[in-house]
Amino acid sequence: MILVRGGTVVTSRWSGRADVLVDGETIRAVGLDLAAGGSRVIDATGRLVFAGGVDPHVHMALPIGGGLRSSDDFSTGTRAALSGGTTTIIDFVTPVPGEALERAVEHRLVEAAGSLCDYALHVSVVSWGDRTADEMKACVDAGYSSFKVYLAYKERGLGLADGDLLGVLEAASALDAVVLGHCENGDAVSHLQRRLVGRGDRAPRFHALSRPPEVEVEAVGRAIALAGIAGCRLYVVHVSTAGAAQAIARARAAGQEVHGEVCPHHLVLDSGCYERPEREAAAFVMSPPLRPASEPPQLWNALARGTLETVATDHCPFLRRDRERDLADFTRIPNGVGGVEHRLALLWTFGVGAGRFDASRFVALACEAPARIMGLYPRKGALEPGSDADIVVWDPDRERTITAATQVQRCDTCVYEGLRVRGRAETVLLRGRVVVSRGEVERDLAPGRLLRRGPGQSRPAPQATL
């Protein structure tokens, strides 16, 4: 048994002095002055204690064609996650053309077995045919209860036409599954890309001009409308504009179940990064792109108000040499940035530290809401008796500077390079095992566990208080 003693426990609804008693893989008790008995004691005096982070949107070893993959595999990427206080990730299964969803799951499971934190998988549905609904049911029956759809990337075989999208949403609704939507109007993006490239505007900074805010706002509105027709729960990934957040707010006010996610890069960076020299600017090519400086404050407000509910990283780093292979054409630069390691520190520093919301909201955004929406709560994302003993002992004041040279994630660049942050995961427990101590990930770690899931919950469950 382990007793985490003397810290300030933070959940989404309360915080206060409490000890946490761990028995094997689960939390046995949370309360004042718990008896240590023969337990190993972890002193959390002066520290915060909260449930392990849940990052519901990452792409480890993502194949993007030409033999290229994102630079973190499941082992290196989840080691980085643990170092930053995230104990559960949800990655994606992406079928190749013609591949049945269940087969695609089997293939991805082989890669995901290298994970060092606990993990689950969303299943991307990239085409709609006679067998798709049955394949989706087989996935849900096997514990994969969330699906991903793309309103962009038709040219890569990922995007769905609206009718096919509606088919997926109806099938998901019948299965009580949530659908994650990548919402950008792909046809409009393709048109703008062709026009920019055709007139010689090919530098990395034109990436942002090929995906203006309107392509997101339009697609979010369309996805909400189609999800409304289907009666399907919708989770909009990487919301990057105030317009999209407002569309989500309107739908929620009208009673529709729509959830919105924001990524740290859209919160702490802006499109000024594209004005840097070409080589540097290429590091910020991601979709949706960084937005003008007027947008991030509005995203922060939406997170504080509850319109937007989760912060996930869309972790998808690429090595500098892979990014710079096709510098001369922004449409050929791999899309994506890393962040799984830095999510909690960024949210703590620029959210709580900047006075935008309190520690309970921080825990809701980074731990509880992702678990709840994705069907992992209260096993994950909760610090209460019976939950998995995934526990972060957080030093709220520890300062450091983010730099690629010292980060754990496998990438030789970092979009947060030079940013000063506060807060560090000092000790991390994964199902009762100490996986991080004094801020360092243990050398030898047991494999993480695959999490099979039921349907998620749209509303917070009542939570016991002390």
Site residues (CB under 5 A) for Zn ion? 314
Give the residue with the Cβ less far from Zn ion, 4 or 263: 263
Give the residue with the Cβ less far from Zn ion, 21 or 220: 220
* Measured torsion, CA atoms of residues 253, 263, 61, 147, in degrees rounded to the nearest 10: 0
Give the residue with the Cβ less far from Zn ion, 159 or 378: 159
434 is written with which tokens? 């100490």
Which residue number places its CB atom closest to Zn ion?
314
447 is written with which tokens? 């494999």
Handedness of CA 429, 404, 57, 367 (dihedral sign): positive
Residue 47 Cβ vs Zn ion, minimum distance, rounded to whole Å: 32
Residue 148 Cβ vs Zn ion, minimum distance, rounded to whole Å: 8
Give the residue with the Cβ less far from Zn ion, 19 or 314: 314
Give the residue with the Cβ less far from Zn ion, 183 or 392: 183
Residue 130 Cβ vs Zn ion, minimum distance, rounded to whole Å: 28
Residue 316 Cβ vs Zn ion, minimum distance, rounded to whole Å: 6
Residue 59 Cβ vs Zn ion, minimum distance, rounded to whole Å: 6
Residue 261 Cβ vs Zn ion, minimum distance, rounded to whole Å: 10
Residue 287 Cβ vs Zn ion, minimum distance, rounded to whole Å: 9
- What is the per-residue DSSP string for 363-412? HIIIIIHHHHHTT-TTTSS--STTSB--EEEEEEEEEEE--TTT-SSS-S
Give the residue with the Cβ less far from Zn ion, 314 or 341: 314
Give the residue with the Cβ less far from Zn ion, 314 or 390: 314
CB 379 within 8 A of CB 96: no
Please identify which residue in the block is written with the tokens 């240590």.
36
DSSP-based helix, strand, coil % in the chain, nearest 5: 35, 25, 45
Give the residue with the Cβ less far from Zn ion, 314 or 426: 314
Cis ω for the linkage preceding 288 (within 30 of 0): yes
CA dist 363 and 304 (Å) reads: 12
The amino acid sitting at 203 is A
- What is the per-residue DSSP string for 170-237? HHHHHTT-EEEEE---HHHHHHHHHHHHHTT--STTHHHHHS-HHHHHHHHHHHHHHHHHHT-EEEE-
Q: Where are the beta strands (DSSP E) in 35-157?
A: 40-43, 48-51, 53-55, 86-93, 118-124, 146-150
CA dist 177 and 454 (Å) reads: 8
CB 42 within 8 A of CB 370: no
Give the residue with the Cβ less far from Zn ion, 5 or 315: 315
Residue 347 Cβ vs Zn ion, minimum distance, rounded to whole Å: 18
Residue 225 Cβ vs Zn ion, minimum distance, rounded to whole Å: 22
Give the residue with the Cβ less far from Zn ion, 340 or 430: 340
CB 146 within 8 A of CB 180: yes
Residue 253 Cβ vs Zn ion, minimum distance, rounded to whole Å: 27
Residues forming a β-bridge with 53: 86
